[in-house]
Structure 1
Amino acid sequence: MKKRGFISLCLSAFVVMTIVSCGQEDSRNLVKKNTPTEERVVDLFSPMEKTNPDAENVARTAADLTVAMAEEELGVNVAYWTYTAENYQDRTYDEVALDRARNNMDDLYLLNPNVILTLGAEGKLRDLSGLDSAKNLRDIIRVANTVDGKLVAIPQEVVAYGLFVNMDIFKKYSLELPNTPEEFLECCRVLKENGIETPVGANRWWLETFVFAQAYADLYNGGNTEAEIADLNSGRARYSDYMRPGFEFLKTLIDKDYIDAEKALISEAIEGEGADFLSGKTPIVMAYWGAANTKTAYGETDFEMQVIGFPSSRGQMPVIPMTGWAVGAEAEHTEDALLVMDVMMSDEALQLFAETNRVISPSKNVKVECVPALRSLNDRIEEGVYVLGSNAEMDVEQWGNTCLIVRDLLAGASVDECMVAFDALQDEALGKK
C-alpha cells in the first residue's frame, strides 16, 4: 500500500490533541509512564498522556479507567510508553508505531486505520475475534477492522464526523438543513449573497468527509457492499469513478469561494476555522462527534447548533473512520495483553468509557444519551445509515490517501489530476497481489 507519510489526525476524541506530531525516538520524547514492579507486565504504546500514573485514586482519562479496571481484575501491571508532543520533529506517531510493532517492542497499541491495515496485512497483529468481548461488537467495527479475515483492532468508541451548523444564521435566512449536494450548494449561495464571506470553514484535514459521503453512500447503504468492495480490490471497478463526484463538488466550493482554499491548505483542525465559527462569522464547519461535547471545541456555543451528516444522494450521511486498539502478534506478553484487551472491551468497561466521554460505543449493548446537538447524527447511525472513512477490507487505504489528494486539489490540482492519483494508488495495490 502506498503511504504518503500521513498521520490520521483527529480520528478519536482522546487522540485528537496529542497525535498531531511526535518527536524522534530518543530520550527526550519517548517516555515510560510508569515503572512496573509486578511480575506480570503488559507494555502499552499510545499517544495518550496518563495523569500521574504512579499515584492512587486520581482522576484518569476514560481509556485509563478501563486499563485500571483490567489491572485490578487480572493482577497485571500495564506499563505506558508514549510520545510527548513538546517538540515538532520529523517522525510521525504512525511511523513510530509501525517501527515498534514490526520489532515487537510492545504488547498493546493504539493505531490509526492506515497503520492497522498495514500491520494487519503483514501479520503483525493478533486476531481478536476469539475474545469474549468481540461477540458484542457492532457490525461496523468488524467491517472496518478486519484484514484477511481477521479482526485485528477494536476501538473504544465509534468516531463520527458531521457538519456543525449555526442554526441562528440558518433561521435568519430561512434556510433548511441540506440533505443533498445540490441543497448544500444552494445554502452556500444564499449565505454568500447575504454577506457571509466564507460560508464553510475548512482545514487541511477534514474536507475528505464530503468526498466519502458522496462516493460511498450507495456502496455502504445499497445492500451490495461486499460485492462492490470485491470489484474495487480486483480492479473491475475504479476508485476514481467513486471519488469523482465528491471532488467535483469540492472544486465547485473552491471556485465559488464558499471555502477559502488557501487558508484551508495551511490550517490545522479547529484552530483554523474554530474562532470564525464560534463568533458567527462562518456558519458551517466539519468536525468529529466529541467536538460537540467539549468546552475546548464547540461544546458551549452562544447560538443554537445542530450536527448533521454530510450531503449525499441518500441524504445526510455520517462519516465514520476509527482508531483501534491492537495486540502485537509476537510481542513478549501477548497472552496477558489479550486478557487486558478483553477487559478493556467488555461491556462494563465500554459503558464506563462511553459515559465518561459521552461517545458512541463499539458495543451494540452500550447506549449513552448524547447532547441535543448530536441527536440527528446519532439517529442516522443508530438506523445503520453511514459511510466508513476507513475500511481495512479495501486494498487502498482510504482516510489518509484521500486527505492528501484533497490537499492537492486545494493547492490547485484539477479533478482529473486527482483521479489519476487514485488510479495510481489502485494500480500499485493490484500490482502487489
Structure 2
Amino acid sequence: MLKKEESDKMVVKLGKGRKKMERRTKGKLGQILLAILFTVSLLAVGCGKKEGAVKEYENVKEVTLRFFGTEILNSKVWNEQIQAKDGTQIKILETTAEYYTKTGGDEAYRNYLVERLDKGNEIDWFSIFAEDVFCFTEEERYLDLSDLKGVENLSEDALRGCSYDGKVFGIPLIYVGYGFYWNQDMLDSCGLEVPSNLEEFLSVCRTLKEKGYTPYLGNKGYSMTVPAMAAGFAQLYASEDKDEQIAKLADGTTPVSTYMKKGFELVERMRDEGIFDIEEAQNKVPNDSIRDFAEGKGACFCGYLGADVEKADFKMVMTGVTVLEDGAVTIVTPDRRVAINPKSENLEYAREALEYVADPKHLQSVARELGTLCAVDDKNIDYSYIGEEKQEFIRLVSSGNQIPVQDFSMGFNTWIDIRDLCREIVKGKSAEWAAQEYDRMQKEEILQWK
C-alpha cells in the first residue's frame, strides 16, 4: 500500500460537458470520494436513487457505469450518449489515479485498482496493463471478452496483445509504439543530424554533453526500459524462427539473459557515460520528461506515439529506438485497454457499452483524437493526421517484426521486470547482476503461472 507521505493526483469526471473535479489525496483512496461526486451528479439530473441502479427518469431508464483508469477519456471515446438494447441510457463515471507515485517505486494506480477490485462491485470498467495480466488471470479479476462484438475487427497484432491463456482481457482503444523524440533545433545548433543507429546515437549524445546540453531525459518509467528491450530483443523478433526461440524462452530452456544482457549493458553504458542524469532517472516520471522536453531542457526523450508535446516551440522529429548496430526498432502495444470487472452489478450494461466503444468507426475516431494508430484491422486508414515529423516512425511500426511490450506467449514478464532491473542499474548495479537476476525471475514466474 502507499505510504502516507506519497501523494497522487486523482481526477473524476461524469458525462459530456460536466466539470472536471480535481483533488489531491494522500495514502488510501478516500472512501467518500465517489459519494461526494455522485451527490453532485444527482443535483445535476434531479434524481435521488443510488448510483448504478436502473432508474426511471422522464420515462427513460438510466444506468451509470463506473470506470477507473489513469486518464480521463470521456470527450475522446464516449462523449455521445450510449443507449442499451432495452432503451437504457448509459453514462460513464470516470475516476483516475496517476500511474506512478511521485516518490518511491510503487505504482499508485495498481495499488488503488487492486484495493477497489477487492471490494467487489465498486467498479464496472477498468484500465488493465500488460504487467498485471498474468496475476489478474490467476485471480480471475477480469471478464473474458472473447465473444464480445467488435473483437473480430481488431488487427492481429492488437488482438495478440490483448489475449492470454485463450482469453481476451481487454479492448484496446488505440495502438501505440515507443520511440525517440528529438529536438531538431538543438541538434542543428550543434551541427548534428538525427542518429539512425547505435554508434550515431552515442556519438550525438557525447557531443551534446560536451556542449552543455542534456542528451537524454531519464525517468523511472520507460526511459530505460525501452532502449534496453530494443537492444536486447530486436534480433529475436527479426529472426525467421522467432516462434521456436520464444517457445524455448517460455519453457525455460533458453535463459532470457541470452538476449537481455545486451540490453542491460546498454543502460549501464549510458549511465557510465553520463548520457542521462542519474538523479532524474530515479525520481522523475514519464510525464516529467515529456514536459521537460517540450520546455527545451533536453535533446531527446523516449515517448509513445501521441505524447503531448504540443507546447514545444521548436522543430522536432520522432524516430524509432536507434540503439541497434544497423538501425532502429520500436516497442509496440495495444493501449488504453478497457477490461470489465466480472463482479460488476451492471455486467450486461458494461458489455453493451464496451461493444459500442469497440465499433470500428469509434476506435478510428479515438485514434484520430489521440493522434496515434488505430487498433482496427484496416490497411486503408489514412494516418496523415499524425504529422509529417512522425511518418518515418509510422512506417517503421507498419513494417512489422517490432518488439511487443509484453509477449504473453512467453509466460513471464518482460516490460515490468526489465523496468525494475533497469532501475537497479541506474542506482549502481551491474548489467551482469541484472542478467543473472532476470534469469532467476524468468524461472520463478514460469513456474508460478504455468
TM-superposed CA distance for 1:45, in Å, is: 2.8
CA contact (8 A) 2:72 2:96 kept: no
1:405 aligns with 2:421: yes
Deviation at 1:306, TM superposition (A): 0.2
Q: Which amino acid aligns with 1:27?
A: Q
Are 2:197 and 1:175 aligned? no
The answer on 1:306 being equivalent to 2:307 is no
Match for residue 337 of structure 1 among 339, 350, 369: 350
User: Take 1:72 and 1:23, find their aligned partners in 2: how far apart are those partners?
Assistant: 41
Q: Normalization by structure 1: what TM-score? A: 0.82
Cα shift readout 1:53-85 (whole Å, capped 9, x = no counterpart):
xxxxxxx4213326x345699634245252466
1:354 aligns with 2:367: yes
CA distance, structure 2, for counterparts of residue 192 and residue 88 of structure 1:
27
CA drift of 1:267 comes to 1.7
Q: Give aligned pairs, total.
A: 403
Using the size of structure 2 for normalisation, the TM-score is: 0.79
Task: Give the superposed CA RMSD.
Answer: 3.3
> Which residue of the partner structure matches residue 75 of structure 1?
88
Q: How far does residue 214 in structure 1 lie from its aligned partner after superposition?
A: 1.5
Give the structure 1 partner of residue 58 of structure 2: none
CA contact (8 A) 2:162 2:172 kept: no
Describe the shift of the 1:273–1:148 C-alpha distance in structure 2 as closer, same or farther (beyond 3 A): closer
1:257 alignment counterpart: 274
35, 55, 78: which one aligns with 1:64: 78
Aligned AA (1:150): K
**Offset of residue 225 of structure 1:** 3.8
Cα drift, residue 227 of structure 1: 2.7
d(CA) in 1 for partners of 2:318 and 2:142? 35
1:108 aligns with 125
Counterpart residue number, 2:69:
47
Query: 2:331–2:402: 8 Å Cα contact kept in structure 1?
Result: yes
Give the CA deviation at 1:413.
0.7
After TM superposition, list the pairs within 5 Å mapping 1:4-403 onto structure 2: 23-30=27-34, 34=41, 35-36=51-52, 38-39=54-55, 41=63, 43-47=65-69, 60-65=74-79, 68-69=81-82, 75-80=88-93, 82-83=95-96, 92-101=108-117, 104-105=120-121, 106-193=123-210, 195-206=211-222, 207-271=224-288, 274-275=291-292, 277-291=293-307, 294=308, 298-311=309-322, 312-313=324-325, 315-321=327-333, 322-365=335-378, 366-368=381-383, 369-403=385-419
**Distance change (3 Å), C-alpha of 1:73 and 1:174:** farther
Q: Following TM superposition, by how much is the alpha carbon of 1:272 offset from its aligned partner in structure 2, in angstroms? A: 5.0
Distance 1:327 1:427, change over 3 A: same
Q: Retained in 1: the 8 A contact 2:214–2:275?
A: yes
Structure 1 101/230 Cα, relative in aligned 2: closer, same or farther at 3 Å?
Answer: farther
Q: Structure 1: any 5+ residue segments left out of the alignment?
A: 52-59
Report what 2:46 is aligned to.
Answer: none
- Give yes or no for contact 2:52–2:64 (8 Å, CA) kept in 1: no
- Deviation track 1:112-156 (CA, whole Å, cap 9, x = no partner) reads 222233212433323223223111111221222211122211210
**Cα distance change on mapping 1:153 and 1:177 into 2, 3 Å:** same
Q: What is the percent sequence identity of the aligned residues?
A: 22
Q: 1:393-425 CA distances to partner (integer Å, 9 max, x unpaired)?
A: 332222222212111111111112212321221
Alpha-carbon distance, 1:313 to partner = 4.8
Map Cα deviations across residues 330-366 of structure 1 (whole Å, 9 max, x no partner): 5333333222211111112112212222221111235
Bigger RCO of structures 1 and 2 (CA < 8 A, at least 6 apart): 1
Equivalent AA in structure 1 for residue 28 of structure 2: Q
Measure how far apart 1:212 and its partner are.
1.3
Q: Which has the higher strand share?
A: 2
